[in-house]
Structure 1
Amino acid sequence: MKRLAVFDFDHTIIDDNSDTVVRDLLSPDKIPPSLKQLHRKDGWTSYMQGVFQLLYEHGFRKNDIQTAIDNIKPVYGMTELITSLKLELNYDIIIISDSNTYFIDTWLNKYNLTKNIDKVFTNPANFVNEILNIQMYHLQTECKMSTKNLCKGRIMEEYIDAQKKDGVTYERVIYIGDGMNDLCPILRLQEGDLACVRVNYKCAELINLLELGQPIDSSGKCYKIKSEVFTWKNGCDILSYVRNKFV
């Protein structure tokens, strides 16, 4: 029986948002109102494609973007957490993120963590003629908590099901995240699993409302969390809790 740790990326593994770090290579006056409207109309992935095009038009190339990603610091203790979960505590580790493959692969390589990650689920991205091109991971309309291009809960469940068909059953799942789109997978955790949410971030705020029996959206529905919830400030908090709780 193995265990699975599922990580978000932005503001969870890294202590920033990779998309906005790269976008902010441009001064705010270089981003036209039409591009901001594209975000509201067609979603974040379309917006970021517009950002990548603008970066190219203003002289930014692959090396500039790579440097910006390389310079993002990890959340304190997160590299140690990932290494310990993988090498000491028998966890498979996956990342589910609304960032993109280039950003995540670049950063993991910089911090020598690639070998500790079993799989990354995110929006595909690659450079073509020095312009980063991004695609949606999938198109979904079922989950109202998630963006149309990426439902983390669905991805997590599909991975667990696929592993089970290959003979790998997880006795426990730990989910580690911070944002609104991390609530969907957390609601799919079961008793005995663990949701680790970053203190003072949106996911912790929403879970607090649910624990008070209050709705979190206009539907008025009150969702129930089956797993235990642990709030964290850094990766060392999580590692200490997991060791004390499950070892």
Structure 2
Amino acid sequence: MAGIVVVFDFDKTIIDLDSDNWVVDELGATDLFNQLLPTVPWNALMDDEEASFAGKSIEDVAEVLKRAPIHPRVVPAIKAAHAMGCDLRIVSDANRFFIETIVEHIGIKDCFSEINTNPTRVDEEGRLRIFPYIDFHSSPHGCDLCPPNMCKYHSSHMLSGEQGLILERIQASVSAEGKKKFIYLGDGSGDFCPSLKLGEGDYVMPRKNYPLWDLICKNRDHVKAEIHEWSDGEELERVLLRVTSMASMEESSSELFSVDCKFEKVNGCP
């Protein structure tokens, strides 16, 4: 199944809540965070130690992340798709430390070939720093559908090199490798832009009754990919494995047709 790429959002898709909110609430920083939120961009606020982590250590943050709730069928679903040969990737507006801590803890880090998210580092004082994927002050991505720090599909011409390119870059790279089909899973409004960039033969799996689902329902004529909704981890597993099987059969049929055409040409058939 080398031709199938499965792209996962993270918050409310792989885990069952928003990881930023989970950490802020569990560490007792909710009141200060909410006070500052009207005047400070979300990504910058998550980089504020007192506003997001209440001055706790990075070890405290990691322990909170390891307690993040996840539906018991999500991990088996991801492992099954990986075992089937799908190329799994994460594209998320969370951050690298949060995502890597959780996926490593639940044993699925090696299932993903790539994680695209807001970068992090630990500074000299042992403090977790969180940065925007795109420096939206100097190099805006130019997409009105997405938050300023990340467009999950593309960037504007103002960005240099491949900075900011996510799904667009992935599509180009896998196309060069001969991979053809995409399956995209997400829940939020930031997942709508990349969903619009999927083509016929691709699949989008929006979480039912979440912002992505609502946007797709209002703009069905603009979505070319097949739509397969899900509501919880049990349904995510069932739908994902059904869709990967469908995509695999279509891929096999396409390859067989290609071989038949080559055979006919070799034998002089029209």
- TM above 0.5, yes or no, is yes
**Is the CA contact 2:24–2:30 (under 8 Å) kept in the aligned structure 1?**
no
Question: What SS does the aligned partner of 1:231 have?
Answer: coil
Residue aligning to 1:214: none
Kindly provide the amino acid, as one letter, of the partner of residue 98 in structure 2. F
Kindly provide the amino acid, as one letter, of the partner of residue 106 in structure 1. T
Aligned mate of 1:161, from 162, 172, 180: 172
- For residue 241 of structure 1, report the CA deviation from its aligned partner: 2.5
Residue aligning to 1:170: 179
- For residue 20 of structure 1, report the CA deviation from its aligned partner: 0.5
Residue aligning to 1:195: 204
- For residue 87 of structure 1, report the CA deviation from its aligned partner: 1.1
CA displacement, residues 35-59 of structure 1 (integer Å, 9 cap, x when unaligned): 22333xxx32112112x34456x44
- TM-score scaled by length of structure 2: 0.78
**Separation of aligned partners in 1, 2:227 and 2:33:** 39
Question: What SS does the aligned partner of 1:80 have?
Answer: helix
Residue aligning to 1:141: 141
CA displacement, residues 183-220 of structure 1 (integer Å, 9 cap, x when unaligned): 00000000010000101111111111113xxxxxxxxx
**Is the CA contact 2:45–2:52 (under 8 Å) kept in the aligned structure 1?**
no
Alignment RMSD: 1.9
Unaligned runs of 5+ in 1: 212-222
Calculate percent identity across the aligned residue pairs.
Answer: 28
Residue aligning to 2:22: 21
- For residue 92 of structure 1, report the CA deviation from its aligned partner: 0.6
Kindly provide the amino acid, as one letter, of the partner of residue 205 in structure 2. C
- For residue 65 of structure 1, report the CA deviation from its aligned partner: 0.5
Higher alpha-carbon Rg: 2
1:229 paired with 2:238, answer no
- TM-score scaled by length of structure 1: 0.85
Question: What SS does the aligned partner of 2:229 have?
Answer: strand
Residue aligning to 2:218: 209
**Separation of aligned partners in 2, 1:27 and 1:2:** 44
1:61 paired with 2:62, answer no
**Is the CA contact 2:45–2:51 (under 8 Å) kept in the aligned structure 1?**
no
**Is the CA contact 1:70–1:106 (under 8 Å) kept in the aligned structure 2?**
yes
**Is the CA contact 2:152–2:191 (under 8 Å) kept in the aligned structure 1?**
yes
Kindly provide the amino acid, as one letter, of the partner of residue 60 in structure 1. K
Kindly provide the amino acid, as one letter, of the partner of residue 130 in structure 1. G
Residue aligning to 2:256: none
- For residue 240 of structure 1, report the CA deviation from its aligned partner: 4.0
**Is the CA contact 2:174–2:180 (under 8 Å) kept in the aligned structure 1?**
no
